[in-house]
């Protein structure tokens, strides 16, 4: 991710809110994690949301990785 304020792409994770998202001024339960990050260059703080979208499995028959949508 790139900081919209300074253009730097180095961030540090300060806190992780497991299975929570911030919507309409309140924290809600969800199947996503929210991370509070700080830009290492300018010090701006942001929230990022992450969720699992695909699973990587190894197919022993084909001897390669297979990406499966969750």
Q: Residue 70: is its pLDDT beyond 90?
A: no
Q: Specify the pLDDT at position 1.
A: 84
Q: Specify the pLDDT at position 58.
A: 95
**Which helix (H) or strand (E) element contains residue 27?**
strand 26-29
Condensed to tens digits (0 to 9), the pLDDT of residues 1-59 reads 899 999 999 999 999 999 999 999 999 999 899 999 999 999 999 999 999 899 999 99
Instruction: Give 31-37 contacts, CB < 8 A, sequence gap 24+.
Output: 37/1, 37/11, 37/12, 37/13
């Amino acid at each position: 991710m790139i900081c919209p304020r300074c253009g730097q792409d180095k961030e540090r994770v300060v806190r992780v809110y497991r299975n929570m998202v911030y919507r309409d001024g309140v924290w809600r339960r969800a199947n996503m994690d929210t991370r509070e990050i700080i830009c290492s260059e300018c010090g701006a703080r942001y929230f990022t949301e992450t969720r699992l979208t695909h699973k990587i499995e190894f197919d022993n028959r084909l001897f390669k990785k297979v990406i499966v949508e969750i």
